[in-house]
A and B are shown apart, each in its own frame.
Chain A
Amino acid sequence: MKRRPPRYSAARLVSLGARKRAWPRAWREVPLQDSYDVVVIGGGVHGLATAYYLAANHGMTNVAVLEKSYLGSGGSGRNTAILRSNYLTPEGVVFYDRSLELYRTLAVDLNMNVMFSRRGHITLAHSDASLRTMHWRAEVNKLQGVDSSVIGPAEIKKLAPALDTSSHPRYPILGALYHPPGGIIRHDAVVWGYARGADALGVEMHQKTEVLDIMVTGGDGPGGKGPGGRVTGVRTSRGDISAPVVVNCTAGWATLISDMAGVGLPISTRPLQAAVTEPVKVFLPVVVVSGTLHVYVSQTARGELVFGASVDPYNTYDIRGSLDFAEGTAGHLLELMPGISRMRLLRQWAGLCDMTPDYSPVMGFTPVEGFLCDVGWGTYGFKAGPVSGEQMAEAIATQRTPELIAPFSLSRFERDALVGEKGAAAVGH
C-alpha cells in the first residue's frame, strides 16, 4: 500500500513547467472504509502529525484522519505561527525543544518547504516583575541547553529598530528575553506537508467527515461510556467505523469529542483572535511579544504584519472576531512601534482555543481504554505539533506513556500536580 511521495524540487518544477505538465495530487481522495486500526479525529497539525508518525515511525498505516471541514480549518490554519521553546518549566522546555528540533528538519523530512524562518524571538519586559520572569525563563532554558538570554534596550533596538526603546512610553521597554532559535513558519504548509507525507505512507485523510459519536462499551457512565469502558469505533456523518483506538485531536472542540466517550476534561473553549495588515517592505526582522500588553507580532516574508492578542474574555464556540480586539491590539502595537500607525489592517479572524487551568496540554491515555487525548493546546499548540505527533504515535504503538509527555497526563488534575506554566502567567503580569 506504500506509495512514494511525488518528489518536490526546483528541477522538477522546471521540468514539469517545461512540459506544461501538472503536479500530481498531494493526497488522495479515497472511499471511507468501515474499519481502521486507528481513527484520528481532527485534521489539524496534531491529528495529521500523529497519523504521519504512526506510519513513518511505527509502520501503522491502517489509519484514518477524520476532519469535519477542510484540513487545517481549525487552529492550525488560523494561528500566528510562532515557534519557540523558551518555556518556564523544565518539562515544558524539553518538550517544546524537541518539537523545534523536528521542525528544523521538517522541510527535508516531508519534502515540502514549510518555510521555517528561525529569525529570533523577543519577549519584552516592561516592569521589574516581568524582567524577573524573563530572567527566570532564561535560566531554566539555559540549564536545558536552550539558547535564551535577557538583553537590554540597546540590543533590542538593534534587533528591532521599529521598537520605541526610549524611556518615554507608558510601558517602557526595560529588557527582553531573547530566543534566537524561535521564529515563524508557513502554518498551512506544515499541515499540507504532514497530510502529503502521511498519505504517501498509506494513511487516509477524509475531509468533510464529522464524528458524531464514539462507541464505547463497558464503562461506568450512561450507555456504557466513561471510565472503565473500551472504545469500539466512531459514528460519522458518512457512516460508522469500527476502530480499537480513537485519538481526540480536536483542540477547541475537544470537550465535545471527549463527552462522546464519557471522559471529562479541564477545558474551556475560548476564541483567540489574530489579524493581518497590508504588506509593506520588510522592517521587522524578529518576532516580538509583550506579555504585559498582550500582543505578539511578526512580519511575514510577504511584508504583512501578523499579530494576535490573548484569548477572548468569555467562553464561546463562535469565531466572529471583535472590534475590541482590533482596537486594543492596534493600540498596544502602536505603543511599542509608533511608526506603524499608517499601516492598514486587512483582515481579522479567530480560532477556538482549548484552555486548561495550567496552560499545559492534556496528552495520552484516558480512563476509557483505546481513547486517547492530545488536547488542551490553548493558544500555543502549533509549535507542539511535531513532538505531539511523534509522542502520541509512540504511545499508541507501544501502549506506554512516553516520558516526555508524562507530566501532561489527564490524571494530574485529580492529583493536583499541575504544570507550572501557570506560574509564569501569574508572575508575568
Chain B
Amino acid sequence: MTRLPPQPGEVIDRSRPVDFTWNGRAMSGFAGDTIASALTAGGVRVVSRSMKYRRPRGYMSNDYWDPNGLVQVGDDPNVRSAHRLIEPDMAVEAQNVWPSLEHDLRAVTGLASRFLTAGFYYKTFMRPMWLWPTYEKVLSTFSPGGRIDLDTPHRYHDKRYTHPDVVVAGGGPAGMAAALAAAEAGAMVLLVEHGHRLGGHLLWGDDHDRTLAAELAAAVEAAGVEVLVDSTVTGRYEDNWTAIVQRNHPVAVERLIKARAKILVAAPGLIERPYVFDGNDKPGVMLSGAVRRFVNMHAVRPGSNAVVFTANSDGDAAAADLKRAGAKVTVVDARRGEGIVRALGGSKSVRAVELADGRRLDCDLLVTAAGWTAPTSLLNMACDRPVYDEATARFFPSVPIGNVLATGGLAGDGSPDELIDHARATGRLAAARARAVSHRLQAATARARPVDGEAPGWPPDIRPALPRVPHPALFRSTTHGVVDFSEDVSSKDMVGAATEGYDSVELLKRYTTATMGPSQGKLETVNTVAVLAEARGQTIAEVGTTVWRPPYAPVTMGALGGRLFEPQRVSSIHPWHQANGATFMLAGQWIRPDHYGDPAGEVRNTRQNVGIMDVTPLGKLDLRGPDVPKLLSHLYTNKWMKLAVGSVRYGIMCAEDGVILDDGVTGRLGDQHYMMTTTSSGAATVWEWAENWLQTEHPDWRVHVTPVTSGYTSINVAGPESRTLMRRLAGDVDLDPEAFRYMQVRTATVAGIRDCFMWRIGFTGELSFELHVPAGHGLAVWEALLEAGEDLGVRPFGVEAQRIMRLEKGHFIVGQDTDGLTKAPAVGLRHLIKLDKHDFAGKPELAWALEDPSAPVLVAIQPTHHGRVVPDEAAQIVRPGTNEIIGRITSSRMSPSLHRPVCLGQVLPEVSDPGTELTVVMLDGRRITARVMEHHAHFDPDGVRVRG
C-alpha cells in the first residue's frame, strides 16, 4: 500500500471509498481518485504493454497524455486512466495485451527488436505474394488499441452553439487571470479547463500555489465567467470557430460546443517532456509532474527509493515532495553537469540507474525533469508556425494572430505575479478586441440592434513580453531510448530512418510513425526533432516541426456526431397513410407511401375504376408578375408567350450544357399568375435556378417566384371513374370533357374547401384530375374523396403503382431514364426544343445536340419471346455476341395492364429504329432478345384514355 496520510492539497474524499476492478481483480480507491492514482495506490506498476515490442509499461506522465495509461473501461476503449475518475463498479482492464498483462506472448518480438527497425514491414513479407494476406492478419493482431462492442448504442449526445466575446482555453493561473480581466472589462467570457478543476499546475504545488488557485477560481466565479471543467478546447477553425467538448454535462454523455469566439485566448500551459535514454520506458521511470500529482493531489507515493534527474525547479520540487512523503531521494542535477545514461533493471521495474560519471544508483523510481514542450497547437490551427528558442529549449508561437492571443507558460516564464500581470493584460486586450469585433458584426447585421458610436479601432498589442528563463537543452543522453512511447519508436530507429533518406521531419514522421499516436506529439515532437537534427547535423530550428492538427485532444465520434438532425418531410395525409397500411419509401427527405400492399392491384383498380394518390411532394412554384412568360420561355426549351389563362403546358428544362435538369407542367391561373410544377426531387433546384436567372441575368424582369410545395396537398385522382367522383365534390366547376379539357386548369371548391385548383393531366395515362388543396384541409379532402367514391371503387395507390403506369405510358423520369449526360433531344421530344426563341437556358448546346448523330436515345423496349421474363433495370444492352455496351434498360416493370414486361432504355442511335432486335444481358448473365417499340407508350399510344 503506497497511500500516504492525508496531504494538504489532496483532492480525494477519504470518506467515500470506491470499489472497482482491474483485470477482474477487486480494487478500491476514494472518490476523486483517477484510475491511475487508485491503481498506483494499490501497488499496480505495470499498466500496459508497448505497441510493437510488448514491453511492460507503467505511468510516466500521469496525466491525460500518458502514452502508457490507456485502458479499457467497459465498452469504452483507450480511456485515459490518469484523467478518468474512478466510479463504483467500474470494470477497468489493460488493453493491448495477449493473453494477459503479466504474460504477453507477443513480447517475443521485443527480443527481435534489433531486426524490427522502423519500417521493417516495408522490407519484408513481399514473397510469396499469396502469403501476404496471412501476414496481414498476423500484423493486425498487433493493433494497439482497446476493443469496441458493436452493440454499443449511440447514446444521447448533444450540441450547442455559443457566441462569447472571449473563450479562454486553459484554467491554470494564466487562463483564470485572463478570463477574470476580460470579464472585468465587460466581456462575456467562457473559460474552459481540460482537467477536473480550475487551478492548472498550481493544484499540485505548495500551500501558496493552492491558495492562489483558490482565490483566482473564486474571483472568476464571482465575475460571472462561464466555467466549463472536464472540458477541452479541441480545435480552432476558420474565423475562430472554436470546438469545445464538455464531458461533464448533466444530461448528455458528452456535448460538443461550437463557439464563435470573437477572441480566443490560449493558456494551455506547458507539457513536460520525457528524456531519451536507454531504459527510459521501464515502469518506474516518471516525469516530475507525474510524481507531484501522485503525491500532492492523490496522496500516493509512487516509489520509495527515488533518483531525481532534474534541470529545473519542478524537478527540485518533486524531490522535495518525495522526501516529505518519506521516500529516499538522490538528486542528479543537470545544472551541475550531472547526467544519467541508462535505467537498469528487470522488464517490470527500474532497479537502478547508471550515471554519466559511472556511478550506479539503486532505485525503484527514476524521476526526470528535463524541460517542457509548448502545446502551440491551437495557435498553429490559426496558421501560426512556432519558432524554436535555443535559450529556453522550447518552441514559442511566432506571429501574433489578431483574434488569437497566447498567455501563460505558452508565452513565457516569470514569477507568478509577472505571469498573472501578463494574463490580465491579455484578458483586457481580448475584451477590447472583442468589443471591436462585436461592433463590426452588429453594424453589419440587418437584424441587430443599431450600434452606438463610431467603430472602435483595433486595439494594438502592447503587452510587455514575459521573460524567458533559460533552460538546458536536454533531449537525449549518450544512449538511445524510446522517443515515441505510444508508437514504440526509438531514437535509434529515427537515426536509421534518416540515414535511409527519410530525413525531413515530415518523411521521418511518416516512415517511423513517430508523433502519430494518441498523444499526437505532445510528449515526443521536440525529442523527435532533436534526434533528427542531431542525425543531420542541423539545428532544431532548421529541422522545424510537423504540423499540429485538430483535435487538441481526441474526441469521441459520439460527441462529434451528436444528435443527428435528419429532417423528414411528410404531407398532410401522412397520418392517414400510417393508419391505413402504407409501406413507406424515402424520397430525399420525403416519406411517401410506396404502396398499400398490392401495387399491381392498385394499377388495375386505377385503370378500371378510380385511384387516388398523394402527390404532395411534387414541386410547386407560384409565379406572379407581368414577365412570367419571359421567365418560362427562358427556363423551358419550348414556347410560353401565348399560354392562355386556364391552360397547362408541359416543358423540359435544361442546364446550360443542354443536359435535362427537370420537367413538369406549368399552368396559367390568372392574367399574371402561373403555377409551375417540378419533379419532387427537383423542387429546390428549379426554384434556385429560376431565382438565379431573375437576379443575375434579368433583374429587369418583374416576376415573383414563391415556393408553395407543401402549401398545397396534391392529390392525383385517376381512372375512368375520376370524373364521376370529381363531379360529386367539385360541383362549382363544369367538368364536361368539352368544358374542362385535357391540359387545362381550373380553380375550384372541393368538398367545401375553397381556393383549390386542379388540372387535367395524367402521368398515369388515365383520365385524371390533379387536385391541389390548401394543405390545412388536405386530409379532409382526401377522406372526402374516399367517402364519396366508395361505390365507384376508389382506392389509394402509391409510388410503385404510379411508376408502373407511367412506364406503361412511356413517360420518362428525369434522373432515372436520363443521366448526367442526357440532353433534351435524346428523350424523343425534339419538337419541344424551339431554336427560334431568342434565348433560353442551354440553347447553343441544344442546337448542336439536335445535329449530333451519336448521342444515345431513349426508346421503349419489350422483350420478344420471353413473355414473362422482366428485364432488370440497369441491364446492359450489348452488340450481339460481344460484351460491347450499346445501351441499357433504364426502367422496367411487368405491366399489369398488358400482362407483359415493358421497358424504357437508352440505346445508341444506330439501334434505335422501331423493330430493331436488341440483346439484353440479364443480371444473372442470361442474354435475352428484346425489340425497340414504335412508340414510347406501350399502353394506349394514341392517348385516348387520358383525353377522355
Contacts and interface: CB of A to CB of B under 8 A. Distances in A.
A340 B874 CA distance: 35
A161 B148 CA distance: 12
B795 interface: no
A200 interface: no
A17 B114 contact: yes
Interface stretch (B439-447, B815-823, B929-937): B815-823
Contacts of B504: 70, 207
Interface stretch (B150-158, B174-182, B395-403, B861-869): B150-158
Interface in B515-549: 516, 518, 520, 549
Nearest to B873: A132
B78 A280 contact: yes
A232 interface: no
B115 A17 contact: yes
A278 to B, nearest CB: 5
B551 A427 contact: no
B500 A26 contact: yes
Given A335-B564, A338-B152, 10 more contacts: A23-B123, A108-B127, A129-B815, A143-B876, A170-B568, A171-B586, A192-B122, A321-B549, A344-B78, A420-B820
Interface residues of A, number: 104
A323 B235 contact: yes
Interface string B549-576: 1110011111011101010100000000
A348 B120 CA distance: 26
A77 interface: yes
Contacts of A344: 78, 554-557
A342 B556 contact: yes
Contacts of A12: 123
B247 to A, nearest CB: 12
A13 B115 contact: yes
A23 B502 CA distance: 12
Interface string B241-253: 1010000000000
Nearest to B117: A17
Interface in A1-37: 8-10, 12-14, 17-18, 20, 22-27, 29
A13 B123 CA distance: 8
A105 interface: yes
Contacts of B122: 8, 112-115, 186, 189, 192-193
Contacts of A422: 820-821
Contacts of A193: 122
Nearest to B496: A22
B511 to A, nearest CB: 7
Interface stretch (B132-140, B452-460, B760-768): B132-140
A29 B503 CA distance: 11
21 contacts: A10-B125, A13-B124, A20-B114, A107-B129, A115-B122, A115-B136, A127-B587, A143-B878, A150-B923, A170-B566, A189-B122, A335-B564, A344-B78, A345-B556, A345-B557, A346-B518, A346-B520, A347-B550, A348-B549, A426-B819, A426-B820
Interface residues of B, number: 97
Interface in A138-188: 138-140, 142-144, 150, 161-162, 170-172, 186, 188
Given A323-B235, A334-B558, A341-B154, A279 B144 contact: yes
Contacts of A227: none
A339 B873 contact: no
Contacts of B127: 9, 108
A97 B243 CA distance: 42
Interface of A: 8-10, 12-14, 17-18, 20, 22-27, 29, 69-73, 77, 90, 105, 107-108, 111-118, 126-129, 132-133, 135-136, 138-140, 142-144, 150, 161-162, 170-172, 186, 188-189, 192-193, 207, 277-283, 301-303, 320-323, 326-327, 330-335, 337-349, 416, 418, 420, 422-427
Given A17-B114, A107-B126, A349-B549, A341 B150 contact: no
B554 A345 contact: yes
Given A13-B120, A70-B504, A139-B875, A341 B561 contact: yes
Q: Give the 9 A-B residue pairs with the shortest CB-CB distance, closest first.
A: A303-B143, A426-B820, A330-B560, A17-B115, A135-B874, A344-B554, A279-B145, A341-B558, A8-B123
Contact of A23 (B75, B139, B235, B499): B499
Contacts of A161: 150
B381 interface: yes
Contact of A70 (B507, B550, B888): B507
A283 B550 contact: no
B816 A427 contact: yes
B147 interface: yes
Contact of A278 (B116, B125, B145, B821): B145
B622 interface: no
B146 interface: yes
A422 B819 CA distance: 8
B501 interface: yes
Given A8-B126, A135-B873, A279-B143, A25 B499 contact: yes
Contacts of A282: 140, 143
Scoring A17, A116, A150 by chain B CB atoms within 10 A of each residue's CB, the highest score goes to A17
Contacts of A349: 549
A172 B557 CA distance: 20
A46 B365 CA distance: 53
A189 B674 CA distance: 62
A420 B821 contact: yes
B76 interface: yes
A117 B139 CA distance: 12
B500 A25 contact: yes
Contact of B815 (A139, A279, A327, A427): A427
A113 B874 contact: no
B115 A327 contact: no
Given A9-B123, A143-B876, A143-B878, A326 B146 contact: no
Given A8-B126, A340-B557, A115 B117 contact: no
A425 B659 CA distance: 14
Given A301-B139, A345-B560, A416-B848, A427 B129 contact: no
A175 to B, nearest CB: 12
B237 interface: yes
B68 to A, nearest CB: 15
Given A127-B586, A162-B150, A188 B511 contact: yes
Nearest to B564: A331
A278 B500 contact: no
B888 A139 contact: yes
B337 to A, nearest CB: 30
Nearest to B658: A416
B124 A343 contact: no
Contacts of A279: 78, 143-145
Given A8-B122, A139-B921, A140-B876, A320 B383 contact: yes
A322 B124 CA distance: 38
A90 B815 contact: no
Interface in B776-822: 815-816, 819-821
Contact of B510 (A77, A108, A128, A277): A77
Nearest to A29: B501
B736 interface: no
A411 to B, nearest CB: 16
Nearest to A322: B237
Given A162-B150, A343-B148, A426-B815, A72 B510 contact: yes
A133 B816 CA distance: 9
A256 B445 CA distance: 37
A423 B136 contact: no
A425 B430 CA distance: 47
Given A26-B501, A347-B549, A426-B815, A277 B557 contact: yes
B394 to A, nearest CB: 22
A342 B562 contact: no
Contacts of B143: 279-282, 301-303
Contacts of A418: 821
A173 to B, nearest CB: 12
Nearest to A342: B76
